Amino acid sequence: MAAPHIVLVGLMGVGKSSVGRALAREMKWPFIDTDTTIESNEGRTIADIFAVEGEPAFRRIERSALESILASSQPTVIATGGGVVETESCRDTLAAARRSGARVVWLYATIPTMVERTSRSNNRPLLEGDRESTLTRLLDRRGTLYRSVSDAKIETDGKSVARIVREVMNEVANVQPTSPAGPRRVRVELGERAYEVAVGAGAIAALPQMIPPDAKRAVIVSQVGVPSIPELDLPTHLVHIGDGEHAKTLATVEDLCRQFARFGLTRNDLVIGVGGGLVTDVAGFAAASWHRGTRVVHVATTLLAMVDAAIGGKTGVNLPEGKNLVGAFWQPSGVVCDTNWLATLPERELRCGWGEVAKYHFLTGDDLLTMSTDERIARCVRIKADIVAQDEREGGRRALLNYGHTFGHAIETVTGHRFAHGEAVAIGMICAAHLARILGRVDDARVEAHYRVLDAYGLQSVLPADLDHDALVSAMGRDKKATSGLVFILDGSAGLESVANVEPVHVLAALASAAGVR
């Protein structure tokens, strides 16, 4: 037993299989579910084994399956049956595996979450009758056993699979994915303004190479609560800007520029934006304005900034009259997307990022869902980099990056920002898919593909029933991009395209479909 397997333990319904499968994809290891192995070895279901042979016999079968899986020299992610800790010999087997380098992680969920999750499956022999009291009893009995066999406990309530995976990976940080690729480098080809984006776990290590050798000092623009970057080899001055859209103003830029002046920042120096899209937009615009243009490096700490805001040089601030009305195209000298920071993000923030990732599924035919998170983010960066290289100033193709955004912005406005940007864009893509179908551009299967992608990211896809569709259409008419009637990016046989002068009656029909029961 020499392999550093990762073994997931915990009660039924905590997500061991879905987390295990996604974790295996990240580690590039095989995934084995002990229950599935037992069922295929025995040629019958766990429920049948329980019913015919009884629990003690099942536990013996389980122990020998676990022993042979752990004996493999191929590092593997292993999801165990919930009762594996009931048998002393299985606990001993797990302890021996830990001594040989395996890590055991206890996935924990509260009773209501497990009741909810287990109600979707009938193949739970121990859960007949009152699920809540059975689970409570099992947790009482097994809780201390799970603790005794595991290296770490991870709470899973309300967390996405991707987030739990990231937390498990942080816990087992001494176990490395197979052939770690190191950060990927994606080049944004813009001639003399070309730059690199470093993407992956630990990509922050690439930051010092992105600092221009002639820069003598740097101002770091960030926000309270954003992870800090390692110390750099030049004098720095840290400035925190405020949180939320109200901080994205000309007043903030003025304040930043005055701090640049007091720190003695010259045109040859550097601004480093560390944070999400708000920070990179504001820091980028301050850099674009300072001495008519000072270099900027972005360190994206949110998923949304990694796959979108920090790449491509769009910078700007809001006015009371509208969002992003004042700005400049100002390409950074480099961008860092360190995916280790994804684990620090609140769940909703991460979900919003997935909303932006979802649009990349429809920009290309790539099946991003089969990729690990790091590969997928690097692929999104690659897609965006290629589009920006072809159309830096949004004269054409770059507008495709706004897929779902016409509907999405209207949803944000009409709901008074009850939906965050990424959530609204996700629903916006569903509306756009229905609109494309109504206009005869795509078929029902393509609309269904949109729902599948959103479901995979745990994103809401149904337009809320309480929204006033006429108000949504008038909000779209006020969109600053609506220069030729209502304009949408729509799917079609040739992929995404910009479609102008769409009739409001078709938009209303799309909204009705998007609000309908699936």
Residue 409 beta carbon to ligand GLY: minimum distance, rounded to whole angstroms: 12
- Residue nearer to ligand GLY on the CB measure, 124 or 398: 398
């729509």: which residue's tokens? 490
Residues 6+ apart with CB under 8 A from 56: none
Query: Which has the closest alpha carbon to 25: 203, 178, 185?
Result: 178
- Residue nearer to ligand GLY on the CB measure, 183 or 312: 312
State the burial class of residue 248 (Cβ atoms within 10 Å of its Cβ: 0-12, 13-18, 19+): buried
Query: Which has the closest alpha carbon to 399: 305, 488, 323?
Result: 488
- Residue nearer to ligand GLY on the CB measure, 10 or 312: 312
- Residue nearer to ligand GLY on the CB measure, 11 or 283: 283
Residue 79 beta carbon to ligand GLY: minimum distance, rounded to whole angstroms: 38
Residue 384 beta carbon to ligand GLY: minimum distance, rounded to whole angstroms: 7
Binding region for ligand GLY (CB under 6 A) out of 31-39, 93-101, 306-314, 327-335: 306-314
Residue 277 beta carbon to ligand GLY: minimum distance, rounded to whole angstroms: 9
Q: Contact 157/109 with Cβ under 8 angstroms? A: yes
Residue 393 beta carbon to ligand GLY: minimum distance, rounded to whole angstroms: 10
Give the contact letters, 377-416, x = binds to ligand GLY (CB under 6 A), - = no. ---------------------x--x---------------
Residue 394 beta carbon to ligand GLY: minimum distance, rounded to whole angstroms: 6
- Residue nearer to ligand GLY on the CB measure, 283 or 401: 401
The β-bridge partners of 295 are: 270
Tokens of 101: 């380098």
- Residue nearer to ligand GLY on the CB measure, 295 or 314: 314
Sole binder of ligand GLY in the list 63, 103, 314, 409 (CB under 6 A): 314
- Residue nearer to ligand GLY on the CB measure, 84 or 363: 363
Provide Rg for the chain, Cα atoms. 26
Residue 245 beta carbon to ligand GLY: minimum distance, rounded to whole angstroms: 16
- Residue nearer to ligand GLY on the CB measure, 312 or 428: 312
Sole binder of ligand GLY in the list 308, 338, 412, 423 (CB under 6 A): 308
Task: Label the pairing between strands 184-188 and 195-200.
Answer: antiparallel
Query: Which has the closest alpha carbon to 9: 82, 90, 63?
Result: 82
Count the Cβ atoms, other than its own, within 10 Å of residue 62: 24
Q: How many residues bind ligand GLY (CB under 6 A)?
A: 5
Cα–Cα distance for residue pair 286/254, rounded to 1 Å: 8
Sole binder of ligand GLY in the list 75, 82, 284, 312 (CB under 6 A): 312
Q: Rule CB under 6 A: say whether 33 interacts with ligand GLY.
A: no
Residue 189 beta carbon to ligand GLY: minimum distance, rounded to whole angstroms: 16
Query: Which has the closest alpha carbon to 108: 168, 26, 63?
Result: 168
Which residue's CB atom is positioned nearest to ligand GLY?
401
Residue 247 beta carbon to ligand GLY: minimum distance, rounded to whole angstroms: 19
- Residue nearer to ligand GLY on the CB measure, 79 or 300: 300
Cα–Cα distance for residue pair 14/108, rounded to 1 Å: 6
Binding region for ligand GLY (CB under 6 A) out of 26-34, 88-96, 308-316, 492-500: 308-316
Please spell the DSSP secondary structure of 434-476, one letter per residue. HHHHHTTSS-HHHHHHHHHHHHHTT---SPPTT--HHHHHHHH
Annotate 395-424 with three-state secondary structure.
CCHHHHHHCCHHHHHHHHHHCCCCCCHHHH
Q: With H, G, I as helix, E, B as strand and everything else as coil, classify residue 98.
A: helix
Binding region for ligand GLY (CB under 6 A) out of 52-60, 157-165, 200-208, 307-315: 307-315
Residue 334 beta carbon to ligand GLY: minimum distance, rounded to whole angstroms: 17
Cα–Cα distance for residue pair 460/351, rounded to 1 Å: 10
**Which residues form the interface with ligand GLY (CB under 6 A)?**
308, 312, 314, 398, 401
